[in-house]
Structure formats: structure tokens, C-alpha cells
Chain A
Amino acid sequence: MDTHDPDRPRGRALLNKLLRDRGELESDWTAAMRAFSQMIVEENLLDDELTERLRQLQEVQEIDGFDPFGFEPEFLKWVLPVGAWVYRKYFRVEAFGLEKLPEGSVLLIANHSGQVPIDGMMIVSSCLLDADPPRMVRSMIERWVPTLPFVSWFFARCGQILGTRENFRLLNSRGATILVFPEGVRGINKTYDKAYQLQRFGLGFMRLALENNLPIVPVAVIGAEEQAPAFFNAGRIARLIGAPAFPITPTFPLLGPLGALPLPVRYRIYYGDPMTFSGDPDDEDRVISEKVDEVRDALQGLIHHGLEQRKTFWDIFT
């Protein structure tokens, strides 16, 4: 595409033109978003490599339109350029061990940290941008997320789904890479004094893995703890505004909404060796938690390995 044509409308003018071309639905906000994505493509913001990866992904997933969970591969066209920029430029993510991911369905178990679930986004991006062939990761999200306006819609279109057992089974039967944070809110909202210490793990993921014979891959995310180190979690304020937590960080709420931006730390994501378990998925909690502890120990080991790679303080950022 010739981007140097002086008569070609650009920016806002292009957006308006695309909206006009779309005709009767121009007042529709989803149509506006679609036009915006088209603008990204026409403005060449989506470079050839990303386009190629998306195409490969769609071939692998063999979905057109929407899948039953509301995932729209087309939607990635406008999320991916932003995601790729955040992944490559803002957090300068390095992913190690992606080649260890087994073929077919796999369950990724990762540590959760950083107040805002950017770690999930970075794991998804690493599998999309650095894995060969690209994989779509579907993560199991918290039960209160569907109550949030826009967030619920956005997550659904990006292929993230509500974490229930039935959803897991259905997803697994379709052959998917499923990401679970067994720590949940306990992990993401912990204060910095507990950084890189794994919190209590839920047992549900192990029962589902046993039931479906899924290989488990531990994924350690290093760096997310420093993106928003919290001194203190103001539980009362959180309850007042109906949020799960209200972290006080060096920048938030001191600098207002701007302070909620994560610091530009460097992310390092370590993929571990696949682990397989066998046994009765309906066994006692005691038996299941022994298996869960094995995964937890493997993940903690992976985190230690990752932390050892950071020699000096500046390694956090560079």
C-alpha cells in the first residue's frame, strides 16, 4: 500500500471516511471500533509479521466469526498491534522455554502478581508472538469479571473465559491452551513484602487436569511484581468502592489515574517442563493437594531460577 499518497485521508479523516463507507450502522459503536481496526490495517500499523501470525493462528483454530465463548479471532486485528507494542516496546518481554510446550491441549499454571492482570496478557502475547506456530491461550478469569462493563466484553472477544468446570471441559474438548492462575486474587493483590512468594493454590485445576489427562506446564513470570509494588492494601476503601483490593503503591493514588500505569519493568517469562499426573480426579483433598504442591514447588523453583538471572537492581528495568 502506498502510504505517501498526499490525497489519501489519514487519521480522523480516514476513520470518518471508513464509517461513511459502512453506511447505515455508522452510529453503532461496535461499527466504529471495526472501522478503527480497519484504519489500523490501512495505516499499516499491523505489519506483515503480525498479519502472518494472525493468519496462521486462524488456520490452527479453524474458527470463523465467533466461537461459543464469544472469542472473535478478527478482533485480535486491533488488539494485537497494541499488544505487540506493549509486549515488545513497553515491557520488552523475554520468553524462555516456549519450545517445551507440548502439542495439543495443555494447561499453563502461572504465578499471579502486579495488581493489574498484565501478566496474563503477556503470557498470551508470548504464545501469540514468540511461539512457533502461534498459539491462542485461553485464560480462566475470575467470577466477578463478567459483571464489569467493557472489561467483560473485551475479555470475551479476546478469548478469555469465565473459570467454571463446565467451561473448562468444553474448552478442553475443543483442544486449547488453557491458562490458570491458581492463586487468583490472593496472588495478584499481595503487597511487595510477599513478592515472588506463591500464595495458597486452589485445587480445582488439578482435578480438571486429572479428569482430562492434561499435561501441566508451570509458567514463571518475573518482573510483574515490580510493575506496581504495593506497600499496603486499603481493604476498607476497596470494600467501599466494591473492588477486590485497593493497593497503595509509590505512584498510586498519589499521581491519580496516571499513577495506576504500571512501571516499564522488563518481563521475563520462563516456561517449565511439562508435568503429567494420573489418579482419581475425585480423590480426597489431601491426595490432590500433594499433587498440587508438586506443581507449586516446580513453579517456585522456576521463579527462583528466574530471580537468580537478575544480578543487579537495574536488571529489573533493563
Chain B
Amino acid sequence: MTQDEGTSSKPEAKWRSWRKRRRTVLITGIAGRMGQALARLLHRKVKVIGLDRRPCDALPKDVECYQLDVRRRKAEDVFRRHTIDALIHLNIMYNPRRSAREHQEFNFLGTRKTLDLCHAHGVGKVVMLSSANVYGAAPTNDQFLTEEAPLMGGADAGTNWVRHLIAIDMYCSSFFWRHPEIETVILRPVHILGEVGSVASNYLRLPYSPTVLGYDPMVQVVHRDDVLSAIELALKPGIRGVYNLAGPGAVPLSRLLQLAGKRTVPVPEPLLRGLQGVLWRTKHAFPTQQIDHIKYVCMVDDSRARTHMRYAPRHDLEATLTAATQL
């Protein structure tokens, strides 16, 4: 791919033919808000194919979309029909109202099947969107966790939701080592804000923001579009490995909520944990397992992404917060 133009005519012709053919990118989980936005970002630059078990309507016309579950045999037809250059794996369900078994089956088996297909059909690049939540919020965390930090997000009871993600993250890491010919990229962004259904965005959309009385951790947030731009950067040849993605800067949670114009309701922790169950059933709160994230620090050091990928978040804190509350 990196041939000089001055060499013999034959490689040059090959290079040309490669240039002529538009690169094809397969996005799994394209019907989600993240997937839709990514398709809109990429569809003029590369050929975008989508795969999702949900109906995908609101996509650009030139995006070819297959509505089927990746675990079914038919999914292989997508790989047979197209020469896929890169896969962007967004097909990770997180819906705390669904059962843990369903999560595990859909997320883990789906990822496994997808990666097997990538290997079988010679896909050269796999980009997987994980989350900084895999490190977990804990009182003993370093202020900024590097990519080498242990994935302790599932250490506490009741953190099933992140255990799936850790399993997938680690499966992708092992895929990275098993198949050195495939460039595998794992992105671990901090809390994504914007037109997405992330827990952090939902938290900011609550009419009142519950906080834990007496705790005010430093937090990082990142704009959805900055994550999308990082995914685009990860598609470049030569980029491989695990990258943390942080946003504009770290601020205390109280300051963040103040900037977002939220009224905070500090609740003593036992009361908050007790009330959560009730509020959750009446759809007025965020899941209990996330309380650690408004108590303890879980921030990442993204200097590797900034130097290797030239990742640079364009949105400042205010823009990021506005994006979260607009929806």
C-alpha cells in the first residue's frame, strides 16, 4: 500500500487500481445513534455497508444496509458479496433493562462471530469501540489511567453490565495477538456525550442530577463527534493497538453539572442506593451500578492516541455539554 510512484510500472498499476476502488467499510450496529452518525461521516469518503438486527431507515442513500443478526449464518453473505477493507464494530448492546444473559449472548457471541468472519475473509482492519468504563471507578485509581491499567471495572458485585464489555475488550486484545496480519484497534473513550444513548448522556438529561453527598470526583467527558473522528483516524493504515480517548479536560463533577445548568441533588449514599431501585423501576434514574462513577475517579491518559493517531478533540467542554443536553 505504501509503494513509491517512481518504481516499476506494475506495482504502480496495482496502486492505481487500489486507489480506483473505493475502500469498503463495514459498520456493525449501524442503526444505533453512534452508527448512524458514523455512516453520515464516512459515506462520502468510503463505501459504507451496514449490518444490524434493528431496522436501519435514517441512513444516507448510498449506504447498503443488511438487517440481520450477525450470529446467523446468513451474515457471512455480506462478507462474500463485498470485499471489505475495514470493520468498525459498534454492535455492542447496553440496555440495563435487558437481562444479563441476553447481553452476554448477543455481545460476546456476536463479537466472536464477527471477528471470525473478518479473519476468514481477509479484512485488514478491525476497529472496536470499547469504553474507559472497563477500568472501573475506584478510590485507589491513579488520577490518569494508561492503556496498561488493569480492567477492574467488573470487580464489584452488580457490575455485570461492564463485565461483558471487559470480556469483549479482552477477546479483541487476544485477536490482536493471534492475527498480527490484521490491524486491530481498540478504542476506550471516556463518557461520551452527544446524541447517543450513553449512560452519561442520560444522566445529564435527567431533570435533577443526583450526586452522592460528600463526593465530588474529577470527571472527563468527550463529544460524540470527537469519538467519531478518532474512529476515522483509526482506519488509517499502520494504526493498531489500544487507545484511550479523553475529551477537553478534567473538571469536578459539580463544576460539570454547573456548566450544564443542572440542579444537583446531593443524596447520602445509603439513601441513594435505596432509592435507586424505586426510581429505576419508575424510569426516573440511571442504573445503580453507575454510582461509583459519581463517587470515584475513572479518568484516562490519552497521550498515546494524541501522538500515534494525532487525535485531537475539537469540542471544548461547553460544546460537549450542550451536545448532551440538546437531544
Contact = CB atoms under 8 A, between A and B. Distances in A.
A162 B266 CA distance: 24
Contacts of A25: 258, 263
A164 B214 contact: no
Nearest to A147: B139
B215 interface: yes
B264 A143 contact: no
A150 B269 CA distance: 12
A70 B59 CA distance: 42
Contacts of A29: 266
A70 B252 contact: yes
A27 interface: yes
B254 A30 contact: yes
Contacts of A28: 254, 258, 263-264
Contacts of A166: 142-144, 146
Interface residues of B, number: 27
Which residue of B213, B216, B218, B264 has the most chain A CB atoms within 10 A of its CB atom?
B216
A117 B252 CA distance: 25
A153 B215 contact: yes
A231 B100 CA distance: 53
A153 B216 contact: yes
A153 B214 contact: yes
A72 B216 CA distance: 13
Interface string B223-266: 00000000000000000000000000011101100100101101
A150 B214 contact: yes
A156 interface: yes
A156 B250 CA distance: 13
B142 A167 contact: yes
Which residue of B140, B143, B258 has the most chain A CB atoms within 10 A of its CB atom?
B143
Nearest to A154: B214
A68 B250 contact: yes
B30 interface: no
A144 interface: yes
Contacts of A167: 142-143
A149 B212 contact: yes
Contact of B218 (A68, A144, A149): A68
Given A70-B217, A149-B212, A153-B215, 14 more contacts: A25-B263, A28-B254, A28-B264, A30-B258, A68-B250, A70-B216, A70-B252, A146-B296, A149-B269, A151-B214, A156-B252, A162-B141, A162-B143, A166-B146
